[in-house]
Structure 1
Amino acid sequence: MRIWRLSLLAVLLAATAACHDSKGSKEAKPPPKPPAPPSTELVSLAWKPADANQNLQSFELQLTGAEIVSVCRKPPGWILEGSGAAIKGYATVGAGFVGAEHLDDLEGLFLIRTHAGQALGVSGKLLTGVYADDGGQSEIAATPALLSRQPAAQCPPVKG
């Protein structure tokens, strides 16, 4: 009679151990996900004028969490330079100022590579003016909302 008791006890211990192991695996946290690999994104300026007379004359931006890969296009009459995490642009003549009717000139300006695990931030300023008023310039602080981003592996082809 003792032999079957020992066998039953061994089976109960094995079942208890199996149940305990399955509970332990359910409670264990999954291994942390590795950080996302760096990605490239096409960036546009999402600046909008306050009224029909306001225009964008220049900007200087400093990125955090990303670096400039290349300048893709320049608004007509502008110089755009980007390296590292800094990009700046300015109109070379008044006719190059970007107003409400030419906001599409601010699309797809540069390609960035984001740093894995870091949020994109931006600091710097934009210089705006008012048509027909030399004293109407003002500076606007750059914020992340100023950048419109979309995934892209490279700059889009030049329209022509």
Structure 2
Amino acid sequence: MPAFTLSKKIFITFFLIAMGTAFFFSCLNSYDRTHFSSQQTSHHYKGSEESQGYSEEFSYPMSYGEVIEVMHVHAFLIPLIIFVMSRILSMTKAGEGVKITVYVSAFIGAILNLSGPYLIINASEIFTISLITSYIILGSCFIVFISLPIFKMWSRRPAEESDYWL
């Protein structure tokens, strides 16, 4: 990463920590609904005919409209977040192989995450595995998106006021 002034280091660090916190609560929300179990993920999206110990009450399947309503927001936000996080990672002096691996993995994780609910409802319950896998992939990418820039940024010499470009 280019040498940054202290104020820019603090700004970027706080942003990365905020994004990590947001992703943590997103995963916590998903865990609360599904416990990252294939069966409970299926019940969340397809509903349950009776209480089978997975939830306290009967649940209706998500309608096509409900899935689209949730997915259209995610379809805008997930790529935007990945783009911003990728841009910050691109400023590091990490190897190109590491960067490309993280970019491709994040893209695959996003595709799995965005397509998962629709495929679970309309194709097969087997796609619960792809949705759960998307959280593992995106979580791994977020760890790199956050930790690598922070490490690289804070391990460099401080910048002079004329050195910064951001």
Using the size of structure 1 for normalisation, the TM-score is 0.27
